[in-house]
Structure 1
Amino acid sequence: MTLSEKLKYYPFRASARILQKLHLYKYFNLKDDQRPTTSYKLAFFCGASGIDYLNACLLSVYLSWDSLPNISIITDGTDPSFLRKNLIDWPKEVEIETWEDAAFYFKDKGDRSLYDIALNKRWPGKKFVSLLYLASKSLILYSDSDVLWFGAPAKIDTMNKPYIKMGKDVDPFFTDSILQDLPTANSFRKIPLNAGVMFLSGDFSSYPYWDKLRENLLQNPDTDNFAEQTAFAILNNHFNGKDFWNEKEILIKIDDMYSLGYTKPNHESILARHYVSTKNISFWRDFLHLCIRKKKNYSLTTN
């Protein structure tokens, strides 16, 4: 980082850190206002380090959606009691499980490969197996915790299973070794897909190279953070063609980290923004804007 970059980064980062520590979500009363429940669960893979982002993400859903979802959270190894204690008071059902629950589910079904992927492959493997587990039980909308929501996705046909829909990334961040080893994968190499926001439903084991995909994931180095994204993109390509959210729906951008402006006015059509590498600054800037703009429409509490 050059001196000029440091002179910009550190003041912005310090300000964002203050915003994060203010825990603005605690000042909103998320009462049960009788909004209908969505047909899908909103799912997260999260732990202690992401709790502030998770709470901010949930508040953005509460402030922006006409219907509210039940929540399913898989922990990354964090004790579920920590999340129950520190999670925002959500007005719908909240279910918290561990990645071990997901791994043992597949082990009990005789799928030792998915169990081993979750056991041995750090968070990408644990996330992959955990979301397959949740999708096997119901339709889920998965969201990374570093996502802010400005509207709800349109309803989908839940009878079409297995189903997966991802969002478009700014660049293709895939694991080449997995793509090269699977005959059906190369057709979407130029389409960058991101695993930060996804609809998932059903059992994906009918993918014709399912055994090969699991084998590649198990052999993939732990230093690679894109293996699970590559696997989901392969499944998206096979089961759902080229249907994905474009950048006007799920926004990913990294060029405004040193801006004070709010994202939404310049991107009116977006449902959500995934902040990826700028989350430690841009996320909290936009969250402050969101809270200021929405606070007049909701009762606040100082409790």
Structure 2
Amino acid sequence: MHESNSFPEGRVLFSRLAKHVRLRQLQLLLALQQCGSIGKAAAYLDMSQSAATQALAELERVLDMRLFERHARGIRPTQAGQALIDAARGVMHELEDASETLAAIRLGASAALRLGAIPAAAYSILAPLLARFYALRPQVHVDVQEDEGARLLSLLIGGGLDAVFCRRPALLPESFAFAPLLADEAVFVAAGTHPLAAAAHVPLAALADARWVLPTTSIAVRDIFEREVLAQLPRAQWFPVSTVSLPVLQGLLGQPQAVVLAPRSIVPGLSHARASAGVCMLDMEVDRTAFALAHLGVVHRREPVPPLLREMLGLWSAPA
């Protein structure tokens, strides 16, 4: 390699990767980490062991760095190897998403939109919005990723998504805008068979014997639970799990005395999934302002806004 010493090291290595690295080698990196041996990784990728060994050696030679080291039970990535594996995983994921879009276009899709949504926005905004949109645009391919807001916003800023449906972010680059679409609040949800399901104006003290399903620590509802509920019920009991997974919530709400503090926006998803037993929002006698959540809405680049996204958002009308 004869790159000039005047170039920063990162640019030198990027130049080598761009010129010499093949996608098959990136696949091999992921398989080596997953399988822990060259033989198993080669079999997984339908390669010969010698071809896999040569491909790894070529990659290490291009970078002039060791990417894997041997140990008693096989091989494991070095620090450099792990960094490249993380990047390779992102590249392969993006290619998989692109392949889905290309396949849809080959099958007749007229265009594509790439959207991200946190669970609350997926159920309360995106699901009804897509139903209205597809009534008008049945040939548009829409790729939806559901994840935490921080991860989705990172993809959006990096150009991997056209819009993210989430709560109002604390910070956004100047080139992006947030449009609020739906007010939200934390509500008390239980199975329809809960003893307090039909009661009116239930004081929080009446839930002293409840067993709570904890929201994960990364969402605002958890802060409200700790600030408002635990302050009045310091001896509250809960399940040894914290989650925003609807299937997990559905299972736990069937347990005796189970209650969850959850965004009102996900209740339609819970109600649909537990149609046989039903869920309900308890009529709690609390200060509703203390349980308010940040608006749900959409983040997108200010300019240019994809015409299909603008058309989709024009169909939104918040439920009463």
Tell me which interval the TM-score lies in, with the shorter structure as reference length: under 0.3
Give TM-score scaled by structure 1 length. Answer: 0.26
Higher-RCO chain (CA-CA 8 Å, sequence separation at least 6): 1
Give the greater-gyration-radius structure (CA).
2
